[in-house]
Amino acid sequence: QKEVEQNSGPLSVPEGAIASLNCTYSDRVSQSFFWYRQYSGKSPELIMSIYSNGDKEDGRFTAQLNKASQYVSLLIRDSQPSDSATYLCAVMVGYQKVTFGTGTKLQVIP
């Protein structure tokens, strides 16, 4: 079982819709969770971090964490073509290394 799993996509949504990206992780003692956005040919950039159960909102982005289900998600409201990118879920176990999923490619259709 992979440590961090994501659907590779592509996930296609129309402009203005809500994009929902999902991630599951295997280690129950995982403590810190991150969402990164990566444009083609560029390095990952941090969008959101979340550390406790529930929702965390930042502008058009909402991260949701459910530790009991070992599940973290990212919602993007009012999706824009500029949101088209690969979204990487990352998990830190304890205060050790950070493990990334393979990423979900999002395509926002104008």
Partner 1 sequence: DTGVSQDPRHKITKRGQNVTFRCDPISEHNRLYWYRQTLGQGPEFLTYFQNEAQLEKSRLLSDRFSAERPKGSFSTLEIQRTEQGDSAMYLCASSPLREATGSSPLHFGNGTRLTVT
Residues that bind partner 1 (CB under 8 A): 4, 6, 8, 31-32, 34, 42-46, 49, 51, 88, 90, 92, 95-103
Q: At its nearest, how many Å lie between partner 1 and the CB of residue 42? A: 8
- Closer CB to partner 1, 28 or 95, in the complex: 95
Which residues make Cβ contacts (< 8 Å) with residue 93, sequence separation at least 6? 27, 29, 30, 31, 99
Q: At its nearest, how many Å lie between partner 1 and the CB of residue 15? A: 25
- Closer CB to partner 1, 17 or 27, in the complex: 27
- Closer CB to partner 1, 51 or 71, in the complex: 51
- Closer CB to partner 1, 102 or 107, in the complex: 102
